[in-house]
C-alpha cells in the first residue's frame, strides 16, 4: 500500500499552476477501515488485548488519522482510546473504529475458561466411618485472572472406599463456588473426593475416618441454678477418636435421670470439633440434678447440678435513695437493691418489680438479681411537677406468698436553660423565618434543662469566630452569656439546592467542653424553598442541634468509634452510654452490627462522623438526609446530649419514633449507591457541619487553648 499524506493543502483541494498547465488535486478520502485482529476470544475476566485500525482510501492507500474506538457491549468489554480491549463479563460484542464517518469492526467473545479449583471449605475433616461430615465440601472455580466462574458444572467423585457425596454434580454460584455433602465410607483411614471440571482443572478433598473411642464432658458440669431456670453454662460433650481428634456426625443421646429438670432435645449430632449439646439445661425441683449422655458402644457420662430455692426475707435499698433531679429527667444514680434471705445470704435469680409514683417512669419495671443478690433499674425518670417528691417501690413476691419491699425517694427540681440568638441580618428575616428560629430555640430550651455556668465573652474572640465563618456582624464589646449565644446570618451563597449553609460551635467552656458561642449561616434561597415546602422548622432545629454539640463535639470528646477518614473505609459508631441505652429502647437490639449507635460513615467531610447513619435511622431528623415528610427527633438524639456533657436532658420532648426494619445487608453490599437511592426521596442538607478550630475559654473569656478539627 502507499501512504497518502498530502497535507492540509491537498485536503483543501488547492489548484496548482505549473508550466502553463492547471492541475486539479482531489484530496484522498477514507473509504474503509481495517481492524486487526478481525476477531478475538478472551478466556478470563480482566484480560486485555490491543487492536489496531488502518484507514484506507478507495485505492487501498493508508491515510493518516486517529480513529475513535467504541463497543456495542459495554457490559461485556471495554475499549480505550488506544484500542486496548479488556474483558468484563461473559458474552460477545463488537469493537468499532470510526474515522470521518467510516468505520471498521472486529468481533470479540468473552468466555471464561476455568484455570483452578480452590478448596475453600470442608477439607481435612475427621469423622466417624459411615457418618456424614458436618461441613460441606466447597470448591471455588477461578479463571486465569482469578475471577470466579459461575454456572459451571463441578463433579465430585469419591475415591474407592471413600463413601458417597450428594449431589455428585453441582453448578457454581455467582462467587464461583460449588458444594456437596460427603458421607464417609465404612472403613477407617484416609479418604478422598476429587472435584473436577470437564476438560479443566481438578482438586482433591481429604478426610480421615476414625472410629469413636471415648465420650467426654466438655462443659456444663457441677452448676447451680434456681428451680425452673436454665443453667448458665451450656451442657456439651465431645466424642474423640483414639488419636484424640474430635469426630463429627456422631449421634449422642441425652436423658434427665434425677431432679425432674429438662433439656430441649433428647439427642444431638457432633459438630466438626466433635461437640454436641442438647440445649440449655433447665433445673427441676430443688436439690440434686442429673443428666446422662450416651453413645452406643462407648462409655456414658453424667452431668450433675444443684437446683436452688430460697425465699427473699428482706430487700435493701443499696444506692439511689434521697436524690434531687430536674423534672422529666432520670436521677443521676440508678436505684439498686439487694435481696437477702433470713440468714443475710444473697438470693440470686429472683425477680424484683419496680413501681414509680405519679407521672415518673421506671425502665425496666422488672429486673433479676445477680449471683450477689443485686438488681437495678436502668433509669428512673422523674415526673414534670417541680418541687415534688417522687417514690420508687421495689418488691419481691416469693413462691410461698411472702413478700419484701423497699422504697426510694427523689425530689424533682425546676429546669432552666437559655439560648440567645443574635440575628446579624435581621432585615432579611420574614415573619415565618423569625418564628421558626424562635420555635427551635424554645425546643432546645425545653430539651436541655440544666442551667450551665455563665461565661464572659471577649470581643476579640467573638470577632474571630464571626470572621472565620464569613459573618459580617459587628461585636460592640465584651459580654456575658448564660447559657448559649448563637450568631445567625442569612446570605446568598449559590442559589437553591446547593450549599444550604453551615452550623457549629466556635467557643466551648473549659472543664465541661459545652458550647458557649456558636454560629449558623444559611443560603436565603434554600430557606425560601424550605419555607414553601414546609421543611423550614425541621431544618433550623437540625442545624441548631449541631451548634449545641450534636456531631460537632463527638470526636473531641472521644465518643466516636472508628471515625470515617478519606483514605479508608470505616464502620463509625457513637459510644455514649446514654445514647446506647436509648438506642436499645427504640429497637436498637435489632441492629446486630455492634452494641453502639451507628453514625454516618459515608458522604464526605461535613456529613460523616456527625449524623446518625441514614440507612439505619432513615427518617430521624438527625440523619444527613431528612425525608420529605415527618422527621421525628428521637430519644437517641436527645440522649446523645447527655453523653456530650449536658447534665440534664428532658427525654419527654422526643417524638414518637422506632427504628424501621434493619437494612444492614443492603447497606453492606450497596454502600454509597444505597445512600444515593435514599437521597432521591430526601432533603440533602449537604456538608453543613462546620469543621473549624474550637476556642476553649475560661469563665473570664480567656482562650485557654484551641482544639483543631480532627484529621480527615
Cα dihedral 8, 10, 13, 17 in deg (nearest 10) = 120
What is the strand order of the sheet 236-240 is part of?
Answer: 214-219, 236-240, 275-276
Over 50: is that where the pLDDT of 675 sits?
Answer: no
Higher pLDDT, 221 or 18: 221
Q: Is the peptide bond before 364 cis (omega within 30 degrees of 0)?
A: yes
Where b means 16+ CB within 10 Å and e means fewer, 450-484 reads bbbeebebbeebbebbbeebebebebeeebebebb
Count the Cβ atoms, other than its own, within 10 Å of residue 266: 11
- Residue 15 confidence (pLDDT): 43
Q: How many helical (H) and strand (E) elements, i.e. helices and strands, does the chain have?
A: 10, 51
Higher pLDDT, 415 or 470: 470
Work out the pLDDT band at 620, boundaries 50, 70, 90: very high
Higher pLDDT, 499 or 318: 318
Work out the pLDDT band at 670, boundaries 50, 70, 90: very low
Alpha carbons within 13 A on the beta-carbon side of 660: 12
- Residue 24 confidence (pLDDT): 60
Q: How far apart are CA 536 and CA 437, in angstroms?
A: 9
Helix (H) or strand (E) holding 537: helix 536-548
Query: Cα separations (Å) of 454 from 441, 518, 530, 563, 699?
Result: 18, 15, 35, 32, 7
- Residue 440 confidence (pLDDT): 96
- The whole-number average pLDDT for the span 94-101 is 95
Work out the pLDDT band at 2, boundaries 50, 70, 90: very low
The phi and psi torsions of 560 (rounded to 5 degrees) equal: -110, 135
Considering the entire predicted model, what is its pTM?
A: 0.45
Q: How far apart are CA 535 and CA 177, in angstroms?
A: 50
Q: How far apart are CA 421 and CA 417, in angstroms?
A: 13
Nearby residues of 22 by Cβ (< 8 Å), 6 or more positions away? 15, 16
Where b means 16+ CB within 10 Å and e means fewer, 639-655 reads bbbbbbbbbbbbbbbbe
The C-alpha cell that represents 689 in the structure block = 457541619
User: What are the start-end ranges of the E strands in 364-445?
Assistant: 366-368, 374-376, 379-381, 388-397, 403-413, 419-423
Nearby residues of 343 by Cβ (< 8 Å), 6 or more positions away? none
Q: How far apart are CA 432 and CA 533, in angstroms?
A: 13
| Lowest model confidence (mean pLDDT) among 12-16, 160-164, 300-304 | 12-16
The DSSP letter of residue 359 is T
Q: Is the dihedral of CA 251, 252, 256, 257 positive or negative?
A: positive
Over 90: is that where the pLDDT of 159 sits?
Answer: yes
Q: How far apart are CA 272 and CA 133, in angstroms?
A: 7
Where b means 16+ CB within 10 Å and e means fewer, 421-431 reads bbbbbeeebee
The DSSP letter of residue 589 is G
User: Which residue from 645, 395, 378 is spatially nearest to 505, judged by alpha carbons?
Assistant: 645
The DSSP letter of residue 305 is E
Q: How far apart are CA 6 and CA 27, in angstroms?
A: 7
Q: How far apart are CA 595 and CA 61, in angstroms?
A: 73
User: Which residue from 348, 314, 367 is spatially nearest to 225, judged by alpha carbons?
Assistant: 348
Count the Cβ atoms, other than its own, within 10 Å of residue 235: 24
C-beta of residue 117 within 8 angstroms of C-beta of residue 197: yes
The C-alpha cell that represents 276 in the structure block = 454436641
The C-alpha cell that represents 164 in the structure block = 458417597
pLDDT digits (tens, 9 = 90+) for 528-556: 788 888 888 999 999 999 999 999 999 99
Q: How far apart are CA 549 and CA 55, in angstroms?
A: 66
- Residue 673 confidence (pLDDT): 45
Q: Is the peptide bond before 80 cis (omega within 30 degrees of 0)?
A: no
Work out the pLDDT band at 9, boundaries 50, 70, 90: very low
- Residue 454 confidence (pLDDT): 67
Q: How far apart are CA 412 and CA 165, in angstroms?
A: 71
Work out the pLDDT band at 415, boundaries 50, 70, 90: low
What average pLDDT is seen over the chain? 88
Nearby residues of 323 by Cβ (< 8 Å), 6 or more positions away? 331, 332, 333, 410, 411
Higher pLDDT, 127 or 27: 127
- Residue 217 confidence (pLDDT): 96
Over 80: is that where the pLDDT of 575 sits?
Answer: yes
Concatenated DSSP letters for 76-132? Answer: TEEE-TT-EEEE-SSEEEEEEEEETTEEEEEEEEE-----EEEEEESTTEEE-TTPB
Work out the pLDDT band at 680, boundaries 50, 70, 90: very low
Per cent of the chain over pLDDT 70 is 91
- What SS3 state is found at 434? helix
pLDDT digits (tens, 9 = 90+) for 343-364: 777 888 899 999 999 999 999 9
Q: How far apart are CA 417 and CA 419, in angstroms?
A: 7
Amino acid at each position: 500500500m502507499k501512504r497518502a499524506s498530502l497535507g492540509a493543502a491537498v485536503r483543501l483541494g488547492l489548484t496548482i499552476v505549473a508550466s502553463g498547465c492547471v492541475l486539479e488535486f482531489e484530496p484522498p478520502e477514507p473509504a474503509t477501515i481495517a481492524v486487526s485482529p478481525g476477531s478475538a476470544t478472551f478466556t478470563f475476566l480482566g484480560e486485555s488485548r490491543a487492536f489496531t485500525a488502518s484507514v484506507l482510501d478507495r485505492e487501498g492507500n493508508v491515510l493518516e488519522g486517529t480513529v475513535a474506538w467504541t463497543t456495542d457491549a459495554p457490559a461485556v468489554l471495554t475499549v480505550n482510546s488506544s484500542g486496548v480491549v479488556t474483558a468484563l463479563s461473559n458474552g460477545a460484542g463488537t469493537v468499532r473504529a470510526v474515522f470521518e464517518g467510516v468505520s471498521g469492526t472486529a468481533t470479540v467473545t468473552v468466555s471464561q475458561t476455568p484455570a483452578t479449583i480452590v478448596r475453600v471449605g470442608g477439607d481435612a475433616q475427621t469423622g466417624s466411618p459411615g457418618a456424614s461430615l458436618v461441613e460441606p465440601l466447597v470448591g471455588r472455580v477461578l479463571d486465569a485472572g482469578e475471577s470466579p466462574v459461575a454456572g459451571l458444572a463441578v463433579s465430585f467423585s469419591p475415591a474407592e472406599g471413600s463413601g458417597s457425596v450428594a449431589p455428585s454434580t453441582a453448578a457454581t454460584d455467582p462467587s464461583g463456588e460449588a458444594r456437596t455433602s460427603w458421607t464417609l465410607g465404612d472403613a477407617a483411614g484416609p479418604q478422598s473426593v476429587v472435584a473436577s471440571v470437564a476438560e479443566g482443572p481438578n482438586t482433591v478433598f481429604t478426610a480421615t475416618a476414625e472410629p469413636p473411642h471415648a465420650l467426654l464432658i466438655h462443659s456444663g458440669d457441677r452448676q447451680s441454678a434456681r428451680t425452673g431456670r436454665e443453667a448458665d453454662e451450656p451442657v456439651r460433650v465431645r466424642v474423640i477418636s483414639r488419636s484424640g481428634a474430635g469426630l463429627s456426625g456422631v449421634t449422642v443421646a441425652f436423658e434427665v435421670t434425677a431432679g425432674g429438670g429438662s433439656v430441649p432435645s433428647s439427642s444431638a449430632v457432633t459438630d466438626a470439633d466433635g461437640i454436641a449439646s442438647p440445649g440449655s439445661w433447665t433445673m427441676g425441683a430443688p436439690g440434686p440434678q442429673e443428666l446422662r449422655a450416651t453413645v452406643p458402644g462407648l462409655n456414658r457420662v453424667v452431668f450433675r447440678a444443684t437446683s436452688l430455692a430460697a425465699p427473699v426475707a428482706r430487700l435493701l435499698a443499696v444506692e439511689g435513695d434521697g436524690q434531687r433531679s430536674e423534672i422529666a429527667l432520670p436521677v443521676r444514680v440508678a436505684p439498686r437493691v439487694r435481696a437477702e434471705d433470713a440468714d443475710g445470704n444473697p438470693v440470686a435469680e429472683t425477680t424484683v418489680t419496680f413501681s414509680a409514683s405519679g407521672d415518673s417512669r421506671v425502665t425496666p419495671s422488672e429486673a433479676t438479681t445477680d449471683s450477689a443478690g443485686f438488681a437495678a433499674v436502668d433509669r428512673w425518670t422523674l415526673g414534670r411537677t417541680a418541687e415534688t417528691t417522687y417514690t420508687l417501690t421495689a418488691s419481691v413476691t416469693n413462691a410461698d406468698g411472702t413478700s419484701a419491699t423497699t422504697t426510694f425517694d427523689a425530689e424533682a427540681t425546676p429546669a432552666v436553660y437559655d439560648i440567645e440568638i443574635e440575628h446579624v441580618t435581621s432585615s432579611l428575616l420574614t415573619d415565618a423565618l423569625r418564628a421558626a428560629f424562635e420555635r427551635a430555640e424554645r425546643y432546645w430550651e425545653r430539651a436541655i434543662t440544666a442551667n450551665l455556668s455563665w461565661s464572659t465573652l471577649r470581643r476579640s474572640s467573638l470577632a474571630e469566630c464571626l470572621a472565620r465563618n464569613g459573618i459580617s456582624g459587628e461585636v460592640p464589646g465584651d459580654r456575658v452569656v448564660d447559657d448559649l449565644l448563637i450568631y445567625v446570618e442569612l446570605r446568598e451563597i449559590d442559589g437553591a439546592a446547593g450549599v444550604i449553609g453551615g452550623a457549629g460551635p466556635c467557643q466551648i467552656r473549659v472543664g465541661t467542653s459545652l458550647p458557649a458561642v456558636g454560629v449558623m449561616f444559611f443560603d436565603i434561597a434554600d430557606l425560601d424553598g424550605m419555607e414553601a415546602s414546609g421543611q423550614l422548622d425541621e431544618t433550623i432545629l437540625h442545624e441548631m442541634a449541631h451548634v449545641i454539640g450534636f456531631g460537632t463535639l463527638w470526636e473531641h470528646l472521644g465518643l466516636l468509634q472508628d471515625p470515617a477518614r478519606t483514605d479508608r473505609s470505616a464502620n463509625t459508631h457513637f459510644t455514649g452510654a446514654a445514647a446506647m441505652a436509648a438506642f436499645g429502647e427504640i429497637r436498637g437490639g435489632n441492629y446486630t452490627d455492634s452494641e453502639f449507635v451507628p453514625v454516618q460513615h459515608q458522604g464526605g467531610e461535613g456529613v460523616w462522623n456527625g449524623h446518625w447513619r441514614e440507612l439505619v435511622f432513615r427518617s430521624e431528623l438527625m440523619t444527613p438526609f431528612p425525608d420529605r415528610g415527618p422527621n421525628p427527633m428521637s430519644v437517641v438524639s436527645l440522649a446523645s446530649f447527655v453523653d456530650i456533657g449536658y447534665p440534664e436532658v428532658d427525654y419527654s420532648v422526643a417524638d414518637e419514633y422506632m427504628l424501621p426494619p434493619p437494612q444492614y445487608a443492603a447497606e453492606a453490599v450497596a454502600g454509597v449507591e444505597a445512600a444515593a437511592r435514599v437521597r432521591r426521596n430526601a432533603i440533602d442538607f449537604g456538608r453543613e457541619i462546620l469543621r473549624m478550630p474550637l476556642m476553649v475559654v475560661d469563665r473570664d473569656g480567656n482562650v485557654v487553648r484551641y482544639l483543631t478539627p480532627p484529621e480527615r
